[in-house]
Chain A
Amino acid sequence: MDAARPPILEVRGLRKSFGHSEVLRGIDLAVAPQEMVFIIGPSGSGKSTLLRCCNRLEEPTSGAVHLGGVDLMAPSTDINAMRRKIGMVFQSFNLYPHMTALGNVTLALRKVAARSRTDAETLGMAALDRVGLAAKAKSYPGELSGGQQQRVAIARALALEPTVMLFDEPTSALDPELVGSVLAVMRELKAAGMTMLVVSHEMRFARDAADRVIFMDHGVIVEEGAPDQIFAKPREARTRAFIAGLTRS
């Protein structure tokens, strides 16, 4: 990583407990502009919780999150305004079923960014176009394939022109033949310079697209490094065991 560039997203000493169980136990993480960071780790290791703490969908128990130098935990911070800058894509798409693709993409533009309807629709169409779905603008989520739905969800985040995008297992609910279309969109985002934090076990994709891979277990970062290093020569025994399991399946 380039030490000269200040991180765009920075997480320090992040802890999160649900009741008595501590799910994140002190996470430190800095993502540089335009960097694509992958997070891998066993189920229940806290990957989703970490992402959700980055935009405070989940309230951290302690620790700090900064985006572009702004302290997201500060009481004076308008969290809704900051969330526009943090795009989030979910495993289960979470499109609004009662709205068309364009409606999904323009809702926040109109209600949060306070754009006029025409403005929002122009921006929304541009976002749909970026994910190759301008032709489906008038379709409802129920009429789209899983891969198309996920791309609309990406467009929904993209339309707000975020500075960082968080992906939580964006392809794991998809049929194998639809995964490629979503990965292709992510690859294009990367090429366009988007900063991305991605929870995903698409190892092949990680190897050729990620700048860095982080292995988490039990709420801590066990090891991080370049994808080739993590996947081919993991230092930690836990990482090795996990990667071996991934490769087998």
Chain B
Amino acid sequence: MEAIIQQFFNLDIMARALPLVLAGLRQTLLLCFIVIPLGLVGGLVFALASLSSSRTVRWSMIAAIDFFRAVPPLVLLIFVYSGLPFAGIRLSPLTAVAVAFFLNTSSYYGEIYRAGIESVGRGQWDAARSTGLSAVSTLSHVVLPQAVRNVLPDLVSNTVEVVKLTSIASVVALPELLYSADMARSVTFNASPIVLAAAIYLVMLWPVVRLISRLERRMAS
């Protein structure tokens, strides 16, 4: 028991690792602020393109979404960071992460938006268009507000996944939360920094997870 506390819940070690871990947290938050808005906007573009009336646009978009959802994000990131240089495209770690995440998370968000847009009945389009609203106005004032409300739990759930996924940025040596904690572990020969990182993830995400449950309950009623 004593050994477990020593190895995993060593407050002394945690205190020493704290600055490094907090620096990692800052990096993780920065990543989130880049990657989540990018995904939310990109997803909307993907969704609209996949609902386009042009068959070519529609099918190529659906194919792209399927592709980027099927490829493991880690593989995608390694390809963007280490593969593209062979084609003469060299990206900084942060840019590589942004590009890989854009492709991956936009595809997931895109699928969610698409389901949301399709959940809004054709009657809403008919009503809005019959009053002279353009397709764009109909989307932004009538369809999207309802679509987003209908899939809000899924959008938030996906966002939680994205936050957790930012830890893969460590493979391109971007010192995010998990990477920093792991550095601290290797210097201190102690797992407590990892536990600290886990605790930080928990504190960040647990309220969001609760929120999802409440949203889901509200939707069901």
Residues of the A chain whose Cβ atoms lie less than 8 Å from the Cβ of B130: 55, 57, 83, 86-88, 157
Task: Decide yes or no whether A92 CB sits under 8 A from chain B.
Answer: yes
Q: 17 A-B residue contacts at CB 8 Å?
A: A57-B129, A57-B130, A83-B132, A84-B132, A90-B127, A94-B121, A94-B127, A96-B128, A96-B142, A98-B146, A108-B128, A108-B133, A111-B137, A112-B132, A112-B133, A112-B137, A160-B131
Output the nearest chain B residue to A96 by Cβ-Cβ distance.
B142
How far apart are the CA atoms of A1 and B128 in the complex, in Å? 33
Give chain A nearest CB distance to B188 CB in angstroms.
53
Task: Decide yes or no whether B164 CB sits under 8 A from chain A.
Answer: no
Residues of the A chain whose Cβ atoms lie less than 8 Å from the Cβ of B132: 80-84, 108, 112-113, 160
Task: Decide yes or no whether A97 CB sits under 8 A from chain B.
Answer: yes
**CB <8 Å contact, B131 and A84:** yes
A83/B131 contact (C-beta < 8 A), A97-B146, A111-B137, A111-B141 known: yes
Task: Decide yes or no whether A156 CB sits under 8 A from chain B.
Answer: yes
Give chain B nearest CB distance to A240 CB in angstroms.
34
7 new A-B contacts, CB < 8 A, other than A82-B132, A107-B128, are A84-B131, A86-B130, A90-B123, A90-B126, A98-B145, A112-B133, A112-B137
How far apart are the CA atoms of A86 and B126 in the complex, in Å? 13
Give chain A nearest CB distance to B47 CB in angstroms.
19
Q: In B125-162, which residues have CB < 8 Å from any A CB?
A: 126-134, 137, 141-142, 145-146, 149
Give chain A nearest CB distance to B143 CB in angstroms.
10
Output the nearest chain B residue to A82 by Cβ-Cβ distance.
B132
How far apart are the CA atoms of A88 and B126 in the complex, in Å? 9
Give chain B nearest CB distance to A182 CB in angstroms.
16
Residues of the B chain whose Cβ atoms lie less than 8 Å from the Cβ of A84: 131-132
Residues of the B chain whose Cβ atoms lie less than 8 Å from the Cβ of A97: 146
A-contact bits for B1-42, CB 8 A (1 contact / 0 none): 000000000000000000000000000000000000000000
How far apart are the CA atoms of A86 and B128 in the complex, in Å? 12
**CB <8 Å contact, A107 and B141:** yes
Task: Decide yes or no whether A95 CB sits under 8 A from chain B.
Answer: yes
**CB <8 Å contact, B131 and A112:** yes
Q: In A83-138, which residues have CB < 8 Å from any B CB?
A: 83-84, 86-88, 90, 92, 94-98, 107-108, 111-113
A-B contact count (CB 8 A): 64
Most buried by A among B132, B142, B145: B132
Q: In A204-246, which residues have CB < 8 Å from any B CB?
A: none
Task: Decide yes or no whether B186 CB sits under 8 A from chain A.
Answer: no
Output the nearest chain B residue to A112 by Cβ-Cβ distance.
B132
Task: Decide yes or no whether B56 CB sits under 8 A from chain A.
Answer: no
Residues of the B chain whose Cβ atoms lie less than 8 Å from the Cβ of A156: 127, 131
B-contact bits for A69-80, CB 8 A (1 contact / 0 none): 000000000001
Output the nearest chain B residue to A110 by Cβ-Cβ distance.
B141
Residues of the A chain whose Cβ atoms lie less than 8 Å from the Cβ of B142: 96, 107
Residues of the B chain whose Cβ atoms lie less than 8 Å from the Cβ of A82: 132
Q: In B52-66, which residues have CB < 8 Å from any A CB?
A: none
Give chain B nearest CB distance to A12 CB in angstroms.
22
Task: Decide yes or no whether B213 CB sits under 8 A from chain A.
Answer: no
Give chain B nearest CB distance to A198 CB in angstroms.
15
Output the nearest chain A residue to B129 by Cβ-Cβ distance.
A57
Q: In B92-137, which residues have CB < 8 Å from any A CB?
A: 121, 123-124, 126-134, 137
How far apart are the CA atoms of A156 and B133 in the complex, in Å? 13
Output the nearest chain B residue to A55 by Cβ-Cβ distance.
B130
Q: In A30-76, which residues have CB < 8 Å from any B CB?
A: 52, 55, 57
